[in-house]
Amino acid sequence: MASIVLLLWCRDRPGIVAAVASWVTSIGGNIIDAQQHTDGHDAMFFQRVEFEVPPDRAVDDVHRSFGALAQELQLSYRFGVRPYRPRAVVLVSKPLHCAMDLLSRAYLGNLSLDMQALISNHPDARNLAEMFAVDFVHLPVDDSDDGRATQEDALAQTLESLQPDLVILARYMLVLPPAIVRRWNHQMINIHHSFLPAFAGANPYRQAHDRGVKVVGATSHYVSERLDEGPIISQEVVPVSHRDDVESLARHGRDLETIVLARAVRAHIDHRVLVFGNRTIVFD
């Protein structure tokens, strides 16, 4: 049976949980999961409620009904439905491990994604797309300003034609123009090859090796106009030592990147991520 997910946030005060639970009961609903978080510093309340409603209850009616309560209680909110299978586009450059992992999970049904296309600035990913019967779009770019602008325009047009619900940057090594980022605000997830904020730019594992780090990590976040500074969804680290060379660090990193990106995408699909400012509340 399909369920409805309600994410809400507001100034913290007594009675919100009771009011929401009472509303679910009033529409004939049954709560199957409820989680909440109170941020004492900002005096904010956050909640995720997943509930089922009778089959004859239209989702639009549920939305309208809650709108009145939200106005009364001065809540901000959004709804989602589970199961949810978003139309997804994957952007990738030469490192293919994250794209391979996502396509494999989607193919096996371990990640609920309707893959629309694999887009790359290099031809290397063509065979990967063909392996999983996903459309491949090659958008090469040269280093000139005109070449970069042409490629960005082509990417914007391609995304508009595909109309994805979710854009995943699976080690896409080009900086996206602000217009594209704004168009898919909080619908575009990136994987970064370090435990942010650290070792930005090229050769992160060489930087990590040179610094003698004791952990390596990966970070998945929503894309923002400020490079690698969007709201963080998921992070993970593993311990390393002086015995790890650059390639060993990179291997640990690649393993983490696939896990962390898939975890972030799943949290997004399950409507478990609530963005507040430049941070997230990720419900279990």
From CA 149, how far away is CA 160, in angstroms rounded? 17
Q: Using an 8 Å Cβ cutoff, are 106 and 265 in contact?
A: no
Catalytic annotation, pick one of 39, 228, 255, 270: 228
Alpha helices in 13-52 (DSSP H): 16-26
Collapse the DSSP code of 233 into the 3-class scheme (helix H, G, I; strand E, B; otherwise coil) and give the result.
strand
42 is a catalytic site residue: no
Integer Cα distance of 30 and 51 in angstroms: 5
Does the bond joining 83 to the residue before it have cis omega, within 30 degrees of 0?
yes
- Torsions phi, psi for 276 (to 5 deg): -135, 110
Give the side-chain half-sphere CA count within 13 A for 268: 31
Those residues whose C-beta lies under 8 Å from the C-beta of residue 83, and which sit 6 or more positions away, are 2, 112
Residue entry with tokens 């992992």 = 101
* Number of helical H runs and strand E runs in the chain: 8, 13
**Radius of gyration of the chain, Cα coordinates, nearest whole angstrom:** 21
Q: Which residues are catalytic?
A: 228
